Amino acid sequence: MDISTPKAPAPPTPEPPTTEQKRAARGATRPGDRIFLALSRGSGIFLLVVMAAIAVFLSLRAFNAISEDEANFFTTFEWNPTGEPPVFGIAVLAFGTVVSSIIALAIAVPVSIGIALFITHYAPRKLGGPIAYVIDLLAAVPSIVYGLWGALVLVPNLVGLYGWLDEYLGWTGIFEWSGGAPRALLTVGILLAIMILPIITNVSREVFRQVPQMHEEAALALGATRWEVIRMSVLPYGRSGVISASMLGLGRALGETMAVAMVLSPTFDINASLLDPGGGTFAQNIASKFNEATENGRDALIASGLVLFVITLLVNGTARIIIERRKEFSGANA
Amino acid sequence: MSNATLSDKRPSSLKGATLPKWFAWAVAAGSVALGLGISAAAGLDSSIQWALIAAALFVIGSYGISARVEGRRQAKDRIATSLIWVAFLLAVIPLASLIYETIKRGVKVLDGYFLSHSMGVVSDTEPGGGIYHALLGTLEQVGIATVISVPIGVLTAIYLVEYGRGKLSRAITFFVDVMTGIPSIVAGLFILSLWIVILGMGYSGFAGSMALSILMLPVVVRSTEEMLKLVPNELREASLALGVPKWRTILKVVLPTSIGGITTGVMLAVARITGETAPLLLLVWVTNFINSNPFKDPQGSLPVYIYLQFANSGGLGPAYDRAWAAALVLIAFIMILNLVARGIARWKAPKTGR
């Protein structure tokens, strides 16, 4: 309070609100309200409990398995949980999962950005909507159908490409091919790329659509070509959105099960060449080993599932945090 | 650029020389022809190869010519345009092929008999049999999953939008987002370790439903949340000002206003889980016989049926035909759900106060 102002009589201090009044202010005094609030808060908490339960129960079984394991769980190149002594490790699975997802991202991200730009900036107005709609629908095609298509249509069609890669790029070692059916990590990567295209495209498209019109018009007014507009105003604005879209795609690719299980012919060793059989993925290994697993085997598979869970949790969490940050700090809301 | 335009037509000198509109198409046609020619000459048999050659030729050709006539910047613009078109075509080819192959191979055995009979006494390598048991199982499992996850999901969304402030709601929002990314097989493993390994229950449709509802929950929460946020605040305030309790406001004003969008979200979520295979393989197991009780014993389901026909057939004709036909049924079901859901969304879009 300013000292110079003449002292006004102090206003009567209001009575501190009773708990009853506080409740009334929050609108939770009536029994109906209280029940409803409890119900809805309860379901929210239930969701958190489920997440926690997933972590706890997987860890429980995983701990069982790992304590039985005679070898190092992270560095062993073998999967024999029923042997005497049980020996198993996730090194091969981690390798296969990471490599196939990286291939998928390397193919899918540029193509998805291309499609997203096509829909927002290149396609004729009338076509943009329907194309976006079709891509939405394709996101709904189940992975089992992608797997069927991959195994029966894509694999035979890749023989030529494999031969070609082997002939001209075989000297790198990465693209060496010994002539088996093309059911290797590269094929898996290509199939995963096709599967994660729709989600990356959809998210990037939304971001590109939000680019302030002013930025683009300013660039155009300075005489920029369409590509320069995209490079100078659309891509910088959309960068973080595209990154998080790619991470969402990565999350999908990491956890994809059936399509990989149907296309890959897994082996339990690591091969430098992407075209020859070598490696498997976490999810694929669980699906294909499950029906012959005993109790020990199951626990071992659950342990590998826990690793997958942690990895996808990290990837998705990071993606969401990037999106959140962008929401808060993007100054361009024109 | 060229001297001729500069000297006799002054206004056009403001604009650089441009290539005619058909230029891109002409180069495209030329490079496809050349690509086909080269691959025919070199004896390459894969269609992927000549397409790659043609694409490379197109990019190089249009850049070279455009750079000479229009200048470097325009040439770069053309390259970018053609790359973006190539990206689009690259994506369309596999997706179109997927739909085409499924329909072409699926219609072979798809008829009333296929839909109304099970695989009961049909061995994997024989023709005949059908998907009735799988269809029944899928409908029951998805139905139970929907019944579990819709109330919880909608209530959670209501909490987030209508009540939620502070740490709890932020935590829920974050974990709902993270939950969206849980791989289906991990959800399956969770139920496996809890329900089957620890509690000692057997395989059943219900176990599968629980895993499916874990996958469905976050989708329902997110879409419902978006829809509730669209309901204009004036409606809530008007109702509260009339002395209507908050819970009745939510039930009688907020939910009816957004019911169309919520229905759409639920249907999209159903479409998403209908195709899930991995958790069902772990939890429901497989059977070729009709089992209409989802709480006891293994059940069939459409996605697992496709997998079995694919995996156990030894690559022989009839089983593959059945796999494709079942895939066609599955896709058709999901697409119809999608279309109907979007139709409802358009028809019942909330009026946003304007």
- Regarding the domain delimited by A79-329, which CATH topology (the fold level of the hierarchy) does it fall under? MetI-like fold (1.10.3720)
Q: For B190, name the nearest residue in chain A, comparing CA atoms only.
A: A54
pLDDT given at position A334? 31
Tell whether A156 lies on the interface with B, counting CB pairs under 8 A: no
Chain B residues inside the 8 Å CB shell of A38: none
Q: Are A160 and B48 in contact (CB under 8 A)?
A: yes
Question: Contact A142/B277, CB-based, under 8 Å?
Answer: yes
The C-alpha atoms of residue A218 and residue A233 are separated, in whole angstroms, by: 9
Q: What is the pLDDT of residue B274?
A: 93
Using one digit for the tens of pLDDT, what is the confidence trace for A295-307?
Answer: 888 889 999 999 9
pLDDT at A80 over 60: yes
Alpha-carbon distance of A238 to A207, in angstroms, equals: 6
Cβ pair B193:A154 closer than 8 A: no
Interface of A with B in 167-226 (CB under 8 A): 194, 197, 201, 225-226
CB B159 within 8 A of CB A272: no
Q: How sure is the predictor about B172, in pLDDT bands with cuts at 50, 70 and 90?
A: very high
Query: B205: pLDDT confidence band, cut at 50, 70 and 90?
Result: very high
Overall fold of domain B132-347: MetI-like fold (1.10.3720)
What is the chain B residue with the closest CA to A64? Answer: B193
Q: How many CB pairs under 8 A join A and B?
A: 279
A43 pLDDT higher than 70: yes
CA distance B102 to B321: 10
- Across the range B168-181, mean pLDDT stands at 90
Taking CB atoms and an 8 Å cutoff, what residues of chain B touch A301?
189
- Residue among A141, A166, A183, A313 with most chain B CBs within 10 A, to mutate: A141
Asked if residues A294 and B155 have their Cβ atoms less than 8 Å apart, the reply is: no
Is the predicted pLDDT of residue B6 greater than 50, yes or no?
no
Among A45-59, A61-75, A95-109, the least confident range: A61-75
Give the pLDDT confidence score for residue A332 in this predicted structure: 41
Map residue B186 onto helix, strand or coil: helix
Say yes or no to pLDDT of A5 above 70.
no
Residue type, B75: A
Residue of A nearest to B100 (CA): A149
Please answer yes or no on whether B334 and A141 come within 8 Å at the CB atom.
Answer: yes
Give the residue from B346, B171, B335, B140 showing the smallest Cα distance to B260.
B346
Q: How confident is the model at residue B266 (pLDDT cuts 50, 70, 90)?
A: very high
pTM for the model: 0.87
Report the distance separating Cα B187 and Cα A71, nearest Å.
27
pLDDT at B312 over 80: no
DSSP secondary structure code for residue A211 in this structure: S
Distance CA A235, CA B338 (A): 31
Q: What pLDDT sits at residue A253?
A: 93
C-alpha–C-alpha distance, residues A234 and B121, integer Å: 60
Tens digits of per-residue pLDDT, B75-96? 888 888 888 888 888 888 888 8
CB contact under 8 A, B84 and A114: yes
Average of per-residue pLDDT across B278-307: 90
Identify the pLDDT of residue B332. 92
Q: What is the CA radius of gyration of chain B?
A: 28
Residue of A nearest to B309 (CA): A148
B238-to-A30, A62, B253 alpha-carbon distances in Å: 19, 54, 10
Lowest mean pLDDT among A14-23, B111-120, B309-318: A14-23
pLDDT band at B1 (very low <50, low <70, confident <90, very high): very low
More confident residue, B271 or B50: B271
Which of B277, B312, B328 should one mutate to test binding to chain A, selecting the residue with the greatest count of A CBs within 10 A?
A: B277
Confidence of residue B206 (pLDDT cuts 50, 70, 90): very high
Domain ranges for chain B: 3-106, 132-347
Most confident of A168-177, B125-134, B154-163: B154-163
Comparison of pLDDT for A28 and B75, the residue scoring more:
B75
Specify which residues A87 forms β-bridges with: A80
Report pLDDT digits (tens) over A115-149.
999 999 888 888 888 888 888 878 889 999 999 99
CA distance A14 to chain B (A): 24
Residues A199-219 have a mean pLDDT of 89
- In eight-state DSSP terms, residue A267 is B
